[in-house]
Each structure stands twice: as C-alpha cells, then as structure tokens.
Amino acid sequence: MYRLNTPRNLCNNFANYTSNLLELIHSNLGHYKYTISRGVKKCYITFINDYSRFTKVYILSSKDETIDKFMIYKAAIENQLDRKIMIVRYDRGREYDTTFLEKYHIE
C-alpha cells in the first residue's frame, strides 16, 4: 500500500472563497466524446455557485447555445434569490465571446 504525504483532513480544511450566494459562479462547457444523447445533444454546460456548491447542468445541442443558457440561468437564479451575480469564472475554453465577457464581468 502507498501512503500519501498529505494530511488526512485535507478535505475538511477546504474553505469557501466567497461569503454570500452568487458572489462567484463557476462555469464549464463539456462535450460527449463518444456518446450522443437521445435528442442528439452533444454538449453540456454547468454553473456552480461557489458558496453553496449548488450546481445546475444544461444539456446543449451545440456550443452556440451557451450564451442563451447562461441568460436563462442568470434570470432564474437572480429572481429566485433576489441577488445579482457578481463574477462568473470559466476555464477560457471559448465558451463566451469577448463583448459578452466584458458586459457580465466574466473572468
């Protein structure tokens, strides 16, 4: 057996970077490499709230739908929580165009 040189309670020491809901949203776009779903959906996009870890997943037909799904998510979550999204972070995988990024403070 191999023993890792990390503390046992590493997962328990995880700290949130935010102190309120909707301060930071993580977004990621992925695609199914070898599987196409029943409705010929090839991609998915996730939105994860950094504070609560609440995750919303949308299934997409193509990558062109990312901005539309973000706008749907933004409207729904802001109406539900009566707060505004402050920052959206993504992995620079070209999910969003530059004008859209500047408008919504996406980094």
pLDDT at 55: 95
Residue 85's Cα: distance from chain center in Å? Answer: 12
Within 10 angstroms of residue 54's Cβ, the number of other Cβ atoms is 13
| Mean pLDDT of each 10-residue bin along the chain, 107 residues long | 45 62 88 76 90 92 86 93 87 66 59
pLDDT at 104: 60
Helix (H, G, I), strand (E, B) or coil at 42: coil
Q: What is the largest CA-CA distance in the chain?
A: 52
Measured between alpha carbons, how far is 47 from 55 in angstroms, rounded to an integer? 6
Q: What is the pTM of this model?
A: 0.73
- Tell me whether residue 66 is exposed, middle or buried, using C-beta atoms within 10 angstroms of its C-beta: 0 to 12, 13 to 18, 19 or more: buried
